[in-house]
Amino acid sequence: MLEIDGLRISYRGTEVLHGIDLRIEPGERIGLIGESGSGKTTIGRALLGLVRPTAGTVSFEGTSLTDLDRARKRRFRAAVQPVFQEGAETLNPRRLVGASLADGLTAARRFGTAQTRTVDELLRLVELDPQFAERRPSELSGGQRQRVSIARALAVGPSVLVLDEPTSALDPTTQAHIVDLIEALATDEQLGYVLISHNLAIIDRLCDTVHVLRQGEIVESGSRSQIIDDPQHEYTRRLRDSVAELLLD
Ligand code: ADP
Structural domains for the chain: 1-68+191-244 (3.40.50.300)
Of all protein residues, whose CA lies closest to atom 14 belonging to ligand 1?
37
Question: Within 13 Å and on the Cβ side, how many CA atoms surround 11?
Answer: 10
The beta-strand segments (E) located in the chain are 2-11, 14-24, 29-33, 55-60, 63-64, 80-83, 160-164, 192-197, 209-214, 217-223
Q: What would the pLDDT profile of 54-74 be if each residue is shown by its tens digit?
A: 999 999 999 999 999 999 999
Give the 3-state secondary structure of residue 152: helix
> Distance from the CA of 43 to the center of ligand 1, in angstroms?
10
37 lines ligand 1 (CB under 6 A): yes
Of all protein residues, whose CA lies closest to atom 12 belonging to ligand 1?
16
Residue type, 240: R
Range 110-132 average pLDDT: 93
> Distance from the CA of 63 to the center of ligand 1, in angstroms?
26
- Which of 9, 10, 42, 89 to mutate for ligand 1's pocket (most ligand atoms within 8 Å of CB)? 42
Q: What is the pTM of this model?
A: 0.94
pLDDT for 203: 92
Give the pLDDT band of residue 244 (cuts 50, 70, 90): low
Q: Is the pLDDT of residue 222 over 50?
A: yes
133 lines ligand 1 (CB under 6 A): no
Q: What is the distance between the alpha carbons of residues 133 and 99, in angstroms, rounded to a whole number?
A: 7
Of all protein residues, whose CA lies closest to atom 5 belonging to ligand 1?
39
115 lines ligand 1 (CB under 6 A): no
Q: Is the pLDDT of residue 249 over 70?
A: no
> Distance from the CA of 239 to the center of ligand 1, in angstroms?
19
209 lines ligand 1 (CB under 6 A): no
Give the 3-state secondary structure of residue 66: helix
- CA distances to 42, 196, 246 from 33, rounded to whole Å, are 13, 6, 15
> Distance from the CA of 42 to the center of ligand 1, in angstroms?
6
Give the pLDDT band of residue 243 (cuts 50, 70, 90): low
Of all protein residues, whose CA lies closest to atom 22 belonging to ligand 1?
11
